[in-house]
Structure 1
């Protein structure tokens, strides 16, 4: 698509890279990528909506094309919330729709708890709004795998050898069931995972999806979800790490929230069911604007 603008924004701790796709007349949609430590997707299918509204992506500090300072004190939810506000201000977004994926839902919720103005709606895609529940859900999934996979993961985690080849192979079996079920994986997904900043991921989350040892260990937004006073859509895949049961529970805590399951997806419906994913988001943001005559 034409009409792509890229640049850098100074934020607390460094500079972050951003990209705006499209110049459509609708209210911009700002995407908060997963991780922590991951990056924006260069081929995110939501960019297709650029003819209808600007689609804004940015790599959080320490990730992707943004600067990667080594100061661990920067890897906090509060600083990432501050960063999000600085991105919105720098881009002059008086009104915006937010879409967070995975860790991006933690960031979206935490930002909304500060009661910012101008956010018209929010999409929680594959939500991770309770770190302890996420860990329990992954361990419940793990019990469904062959004993060899379970033992390999448990042994290497207990020994602190999660960089071993055996561990990586066992994790890939898990990821191909609950992260992305497209086989083979698209090259971009593999490359994005290779570019993950382990310093940020390990500091904030931990060694793996199954064991939360980082600063997000006690993260739990469920007690405050009733405070979200804007239209909210919760989505997940049928086989998602963010289980349908957990996602529906989070939706039940937000007044008038909606809930949608992508039946043929796990944690990456943007890759697994891109057409359905784009259409669901398109219909959602358009409907929110029609309600209030955007």
Structure 2
């Protein structure tokens, strides 16, 4: 897997992300992708060779290894990283779609015409795309954590497992290579995934809160404008505001001598 291409694709997402999204992207690359590429793959590179059973029966060690390790940790983490980063491309594709619409609109109506104030601004359909991508990323993070726990029943790897599968002659003891080191990396990757889940949840609440603030602000502005329109006085074919009406009353009272 070429993680460099993935990094170059996701690097352009920063300008469309919030502060939480930028922190999430940094955590993904520094604490997950880099650790996975530099260390985790090497730790699990010879896991089947180091899986040793106290029997020489041909095929017994392979059957036991396949039973206890149906899906390698590194394969699960690679799929997890792909599934949690791909939803971010939905935002990039939506922005590219907006920019193409903006280009066609200017060609049809002139260079000064604008369809969007900012194609990358998160409002309208782009806001929903960004929010749905966060929900999908959070769901996939939780799903892969549950999958890892469901397959191995724990995040900690045991030193010894007992196996009585065919073609083993009887119940044999099998030993996992470097279980402590693998357990440390497993907890580290699980912790980094949990941090990403927290960041996604915080960003979801942040987007919803900012949207509610904008809606309430628009409601107050509309209420203020409607009050102003209702407080105006219609006179002689044109509208007179209360301030203008007060000025006219004061002038009339000065002329009539009723004000001192």
Instruction: Say yes or no: TM over 0.5.
Output: no
Greater Rg over alpha carbons, structure: 2
Write 1 or 2 for the structure with the bigger share of helix. Answer: 2
Q: Which has the higher contact order (CA 8 A, sep 6+)?
A: 2
TM-score by length of 2: 0.22
TM-score by length of 1: 0.21
